[in-house]
Amino acid sequence: MNNRAVATPTRTKEILAKYGFSFKKSLGQNFLVDVNILKNIIEHAGIQKEAGAIEIGPGIGALTEQLAIHSDKVVAFEIDQRLLPILEDTLQDYDNVEVINQDILKADVEEVIKEQFTSGQSIHVVANLPYYITTPILMKLLMDRLPISSLTVMIQKEVADRMAASPNSKSYGSLSIAVQYYTEAQVVMNVPKTVFQPQPNVDSAVLHLKMRNQPPVDVKDEDFFFDVVKATFGQRRKTLMNNLARHFKGQYDKEALQSYLDQIEIDPRRRGESLSMDEFAKLANILYQE
């Protein structure tokens, strides 16, 4: 079947020509034309034959086809109606694929999982995500606390680096904390722009997110915790004290903040990027008032 795999430059050109398909910039459409890279992604996703897969933005079915071969069932969310007849054509050999014409950000994914997969089945999100909307999609999937085992996504390299970054690195910020609160994050491969049609302007990377059973830290209030994290990165060059004083103006003065920071043994001259998640949790918990 691979000799006519969707993910080759020739076959992709043929399919696009057959349907007179033109790329929509607004949807961030870049189709993968390298079967080996797709197989690598699936390998990194750790999908077993009995597992279920959720894909976002299947395009013309390049990754969908490989997921159909390697998993029990694939549910793909596609927002662009023009692609539905193409997917019906390219995936006609596979009876284990369900394409849903819906915006993933508006979809009730939990309900779809209940309807489409068997109870207790291991489910993995695997997708080549549109760059312009990567973060909202991933944060929705994580914050909805869906019954999924992992997410393996091809995204802009810079964003992947930020999501997997460690303290004291240039990429580390509130996004790193948000993603790592829910998952164990790792960049598993870099992908050159040459394997896409059309070629994007930036390099990509594959990010593997293994869902945690529970967050690595205990916080009194999650929203407040993320709020504090965001505040400390408000102006990256400023110290913890300056960012907190600015954020909590009218609520805590510098003297009160100094006393709280002393209690948890965090130097007010440090910058947000030097704090571990554990330290952020201590900070949020001591500042939180019911």
| Binding-site annotation: residue ranges for S-adenosyl-L-methionine | 30, 32, 57, 78, 103, 128
Cα angle 30-54-9, degrees, rounded to a multiple of 5: 30
Catalogue the E-assigned strands of 157-214.
183-191, 196-197, 204-211
Q: How far apart are the C-alpha atoms of 62 and 257, rounded to whole Å?
A: 54
Q: How far apart are the C-alpha atoms of 5 and 2, rounded to whole Å?
A: 5
Closest CA to 270 of 234, 232, 214, 231: 232
**CA–CA distances in Å: residue 17 to residues 11, 40, 86, 90:** 10, 28, 11, 14
Handedness of CA 65, 69, 70, 73 (dihedral sign): positive
| Binding-site annotation: residue ranges | 30, 32, 57, 78, 103, 128
Residues 220, 283 contacting (CB under 8 angstroms): no
Residues 100, 80 contacting (CB under 8 angstroms): no
- Amino acid type, 43: E
Q: How far apart are the C-alpha atoms of 199 and 30, rounded to whole Å?
A: 7
Q: Which residue has the tokens 């003297």?
A: 255
Handedness of CA 267, 268, 271, 276 (dihedral sign): positive
Closest CA to 35 of 71, 64, 68, 6: 6
Two structure tokens written together for 14: 């043929």
